A and B are shown apart, each in its own frame.
Chain A
Amino acid sequence: MSNRMLYAGLAIISAVVFMAIFAPFIAPYDPTKSTGDVLQPPSAEHIMGTDNLGRDIFSRVVYGARVVLIVVFSASLLSMLVGVPLGLISGYYGGKLDRVLSMIMDSLYAFPSLILAIAIAAVLGPSVFNAMVAIAVVYIPTYFRMIRGQTLSIKTRLFVEAAKVSGASNARILRKYIFPNVATTVIVVFSLSVADAIITEAGLSFLGFIVTAPTPDWGFDLSSGKPYLPAGYWWMITFPGLMVMLLSLGFALVGEALSEKYLAREER
């Protein structure tokens, strides 16, 4: 079961990454230029139809994968680079530092991710970089909490004490004895938080915090298509929306599969 989930997820992710890298070869039209035909339903020429400015939706969907992937990947890497060391340090040393950090992280964690991201993005102003920072901040507590929790339990394990008796410094214990034992968790949290961040990114973009016209981006295209939905032009939002769901699902599958395969086993 978990193997099938893993492969399905990996297949989805690779397909989207492939699409983003080779967009110029895959997209039949220029995603920012009108093809002349406005609001055409899906057909052989335009398999996902065209939008209100006559742009090919399929081409926009293909190019749109680029922004999401860049923003979400770099944001998640950033949260990882901040959240993991903080979690390790907080869990290992404990004390006042741990209490302060935990309180900050818990209060950040208490906000729904999109609302927090909007608040930060609103303060920083709209731009791809700022959106990335906003999303990164949102997911730091996820890493922090998981890694801190695991560090708390690993640091009492006998092999850590054995390392202490050997004379290992705290930094060495963290690096050689604790971190390798939380590394699998980091990968799982990465997949799951990317899955969530994709939705958050779409939300931010929908509200115009990331890109401006005519850059193709799924969330942004959702908002441009929304006014046309009541009039029956369903294809403008359906395809970008489906892509958001699909990519998010891909990462969620990988994350769940990995956690089932590796984390559950290590608990024993």
Chain B
Amino acid sequence: MLRVENLKKYFPVQKSFIETLFARKLEFIRAVDGVSFEVGRGEVLCLVGESGCGKTTTGRMIVKLEEPSDGRIIFKGRDITHLEGDELREIRKHIQMVFQDPYASLNPRMTIGEHLIDPLLIHELATREEAEEIAKDMLNKVGLPAEQFFNRFPHQLSGGQRQRVAIARAMILKPEFVVADEPVSQIDVSLRAAILELLLRFKKELNQSMIFITHDLSITRVIGDRIAVMYLGKIVEMGEVDSIVKRPMHPYTAALLSAVPSFVKKKIRIDVIGEIANPREIPKGCRYSPRCPFAKDVCRREEPELEKVEDRLVACHYPLEVEF
């Protein structure tokens, strides 16, 4: 369905005028630093990792909100990396995004109904009257009775209701591919399950593929088929959700998992040394080595490749053998 090859995004570091004068060369934040993966039809790939590891940037490149610095994005066999104009608009019909912040992703000056009608009109999929009907059906479907919500403005809705609108807007074009960027992280805990259920329902109904970005690993079991764990712009471990969650091999994956709060007592505990790393200064060798409790000399010299180990891909010289 979608294949991403060696995708990179470098942002120039913002500096003051004086700094620029004295700096010898341009410095870059390597937000995404060579990421490759595939998402099959009807499959959900969860992108996980701590704040700033490049999850959102990866998602934004796929929906073409950010121009990749390098690499290729292939959608249904077609290279869409550098599409522009009408061709891009055509592709947008099939690739949609649900954003993290439901308070910022809706236009404060547009009614809920108008938000759903607009995509249909843009792609000339319906007349205005037809579009209104489709939009009302959609609102009912996401649990917001159309007669109550159609003419309301975003500020009259709660966070959970707004996120339902955002999902409805993304789904109204019946996209084959959806990027969901932490769609429940800013929503009350008790409402999260319902929103996840809604996303899963659409996924089944439209046989969608999805990239689900989250820093909350406990959600991956609910929604995901596979997980890709990112650290400082690279994937360090990728494989089936169940197997990774039970038997993480990369020390970072293990640390993330062991930090997830749970109702059951965890059997093992794996630490991380120090604070979140600075993406401006990516360490030599294994980029996780300064924080890895298992690091050895080799780790600080040679960067491990993402290689097949048993049922998955791992980028580590000394994969763990632990079980949760």
Contact = CB atoms under 8 A, between A and B. Distances in A.
**Do A and B come into direct contact in the complex, CB within 8 Å?**
yes
Interface of A: 157-159, 161-169, 172, 176-177, 180-181, 183
Given A168-B118, A176-B118, A162 B169 contact: yes
A166 B118 contact: yes
Main secondary structure of the interface of B (DSSP, over half): loop
A159 B123 contact: no
Contacts of A158: 99, 101, 104-105
Nearest to A159: B107
Q: Which of A159, A172, A177 has the most CB of B within 10 A?
A: A159
Contacts of B119: 166-167
B264 interface: no
Contact of B107 (A164, A167, A181): A181
B166 A162 contact: yes
A145 to B, nearest CB: 22
Contacts of B170: 165
Interface in B170-208: 170, 173
B18 interface: no
Contact of B109 (A162, A165, A167, A181): A181
A166 B107 contact: no
B123 A167 contact: yes
B122 A159 contact: no
Contacts of B105: 158-159, 161-162
Contact of A180 (B95, B109, B122, B173): B109
A159 B100 CA distance: 11
Interface in B85-113: 89, 92-93, 95-97, 99, 101, 104-110
B65 interface: yes
B210 interface: no
Contacts of A180: 107, 109-110
Contacts of B107: 159, 163, 176-177, 180-181
Contacts of B96: 165-166
Nearest to B105: A158
Given A166-B118, A166-B169, A181 B101 contact: no
